[in-house]
Amino acid sequence: MIWVAVFPTLTVLNLTIGPWLADLDPALRTFVLATVAVPIVIYGLMPRLHRIRVQLLTRRAA
């Protein structure tokens, strides 16, 4: 589930803000991307994915 949230988030961020960060040092660029991506994944995507997972598991059990 983590990869389902992290990979698309990083891809979208790289496509949208990547050009603005192109001149930065790679470590600083990674820091900026992680600083933006982690809250999106933790507070935005993971709760939704957990809800979907619970719904799928309860349907199978029924």
Q: What is the pLDDT of residue 62?
A: 73
Residue with tokens 């939704």: 48
Interior CA angle at 52 toward 50 and 4, to 5°?
70
Q: How confident is the model at residue 61 (pLDDT cuts 50, 70, 90)?
A: confident
Q: What is the pLDDT of residue 3?
A: 94
**Annotated domain spans of the chain:** 2-61
CB atoms within 10 A of CB 32: 15
Q: Which helix (H) or strand (E) holds 1?
A: none
Verdict on whether the full-model pTM lies above 0.75: yes
